[in-house]
Amino acid sequence: MNGAVDPLEHGWWLASRASGIVALALMTASVIVGLTIGGRFAMHLPKRIRPTLRAEPRLLTRAHEQLAVVSLIAIGVHGLTLLGDAWLRPSLSDIAIPFLIDYKPIFTGLGIVGAYIAVLLGLSYFFRRRIGVARWKRVHRFTIVGWALAVLHTLGAGTDATDGWLFWPVVGSSVLVALLFAARMTDLGMPSRRSAGASQAA
Amino acid sequence: MTTDPRAAKTAKPINGGWFKVAWLSGLLFAALLLGLAWQMYSGNDPLLGAGTQQAAEPATIKRKIVIERKVIEQPSGYLAEAPAAAEQQNQVQPPYQQPAAPAPAPAAPTTRSS
């Protein structure tokens, strides 16, 4: 081994880092698709190219759902694999209770809170009829808070956050989400019913 | 099992989509895991750095400090009293370093009598 660090000794930690990055990527993609659906930004595209871009509302909704559920699985893997790390040695309460762990407690705690928000609001989709669709939609908008906390967690506590290969994609996608969110809040992407109807007819 | 082509058209992207997202996520996870492992193995891990590799390698000389010998002129009688000390000072020098000036010879009995 020439005295080099043996990655197998840090396998759990590496798995946790990799799954954390996957979780953030999926979560970001899900939020982007969700904002696109909510803001009806795909309505601006000509109808004939929407299937090519998979920008049909039905397909976007499915993609949003799939990305969100797989991101929740990745979040679970991210936390559970960290339990095996021999250096950090976190207990179950360290990864389940925010701000308890010794390693960068603020940023790690923000990640745990973000994970809870993502899990609760994400899974609430399956109970939306029981909650009431209108109420569920209002609550579901706060999922972006969970995503924002996940970004802060990545940049503040992520081992690879200082590396450009992770830092710039995170910053770039965050800018995109911020723009989409601003457009969603100001209804920039929302076409009027008349123009939406004209677009459908085109 | 239905033979309606419209039903097949609606069912395909939904099931295929699940498979695709899960498969691509697994692929991304594997790629990241291998990449991070390789980064660690090659000594570029952001936290561990070179790890034990750094300790195992011999230390490299980054800066060489040459200490020049400083010759202090003393009254001629000074070295005459302690020629052995001057000899010892010459021997302490590193072998690569040339003396800045030849050591003054022990002075002859001074004419400067009090």
pLDDT exceeding 70 applies to what percent of chain B?
A: 32
The pair phi, psi for residue A190, each rounded to 5°, is -80, 110
CB contact under 8 A, A3 and B18: no
Residues 5-64 (A) with a CB less than 8 A from some CB of B: 5-7, 10, 14-15, 17-19, 21-22, 25-26, 54, 59, 62-63
CA dihedral A133, A136, A142, A147 (to 10 degrees): -80
**Which has the higher per-residue pLDDT, A19 or A87?**
A19
For chain A, the average pLDDT equals 87
Q: CA of A16: how far to CAs of A29, A33, A89, B9, B104, in Å? A: 20, 25, 13, 38, 72
The complex scores an ipTM of 0.84
* pLDDT mean over A25-45: 87
Sequence-ordered alpha helix ranges (H) in chain A: 11-38, 57-82, 92-96, 105-123, 128-131, 133-140, 143-157, 164-185, 193-201
Q: Which of A26, A63, A159 sits opposite B47 (nearest CB)?
A: A159
Tokens standing for residue A125: 């989709």
Residue B58 — left, alpha, or beta (φ > 0 → left; ψ -120 to 50 → alpha)? beta
Report the interhelical angle of A164-185 vs A11-38 (nearest 10°). 20
Tokens standing for residue B61: 């000389």
Using the Cα atoms of residue B21, residue B4, residue A57 and residue A48 in order, give the sign of their dihedral: positive
pLDDT exceeding 90 applies to what percent of chain B?
A: 17
Residues 64-83 (B) with a CB less than 8 A from some CB of A: none
CB contact under 8 A, B40 and A7: yes
Q: Which of A4, A22, A54 sits opposite B25 (nearest CB)?
A: A22
CA distance linking residue B74 with residue B95, whole number of Å? 25
CB contact under 8 A, B29 and A19: yes
Name the range with the highest mean pLDDT among A193-197, B45-49, B108-112: B45-49
Q: What is the pLDDT of residue A70?
A: 95
Please write the tens of the pLDDT for every residue from A118-137.
Answer: 999 999 988 989 999 999 98
Residue numbers in B near A70 (CB within 8 A): 21-22, 25
Please write the tens of the pLDDT for every residue from A48-64.
Answer: 666 666 667 788 888 99
